[in-house]
Amino acid sequence: MAARTTPYGAFNFIVNIDGQEAFGGFSDVSGLSTDITVAEYRNGNEKENHVRKVPGMHKVSDVTLKRGIVNSTDLWAWVNEVRHNGPSAKRTVVVTMLDEARNPVMAWSLSRVFPMKYAGPTLAAKGGGDVAMEELVLSVEGLEFEQVA
């Protein structure tokens, strides 16, 4: 099979929370990133006057999920679980990008995840055509990337 040279579209993806596809699906996923801090160090007997850069700790960014409000309370139930049970409510979230034929091609696995912010819709009577959206910001401790195809 020849290597693909056309980039994948960013509009075809699935979000699974603890192995179950979230009801209603999401329209946006943002924040899939990790940062590695850099420590600067210089030996006192270095001949050149410059620092060496040493990789240090890494951290994973918060991930934001957005979806149109549907007749489901699954996200709010998770928020309540975190409010009442704390760390035991952490879950695994997997975001899988699909190709045009809906075959999985890449996946981002988020570990030890819990919602840290929920935002309901902005309601305005003047619009009429806008979709009511809810937003969930996730605290993420681990991020792994896998090429599926």
Handedness of CA 45, 47, 51, 57 (dihedral sign): negative
Q: Is the pLDDT of residue 1 over 60?
A: no
- For the chain, the average pLDDT equals 91
CATH number of 13-147: 2.30.110
pLDDT (tens digit per residue) in 39-55: 999 988 988 888 999 99
Residues whose CB falls within 8 Å of the CB of residue 124, separated by 6 or more in sequence, listed in order: 130
Looking at residue 128, its pLDDT comes to 73
Residue range 1-12: average pLDDT?
A: 83
**Lowest-pLDDT range of 2-11, 46-55, 88-97:** 2-11
Closest to 110 in 3D by CA, of 98, 97, 90, 94: 94
Share of the chain above pLDDT 90, in %: 68
pLDDT confidence tier of residue 92, bands split at 50, 70 and 90: very high
Q: Is the pLDDT of residue 23 over 70?
A: no
Looking at residue 2, its pLDDT comes to 59
* Total residues found in the chain within this entry: 149
Looking at residue 116, its pLDDT comes to 96
Residue range 17-33: average pLDDT?
A: 87
Cα–Cα distances in angstroms (integers) from residue 26 to residues 14, 40, 98, 136, in the given order: 8, 41, 14, 10
Handedness of CA 136, 97, 144, 15 (dihedral sign): positive
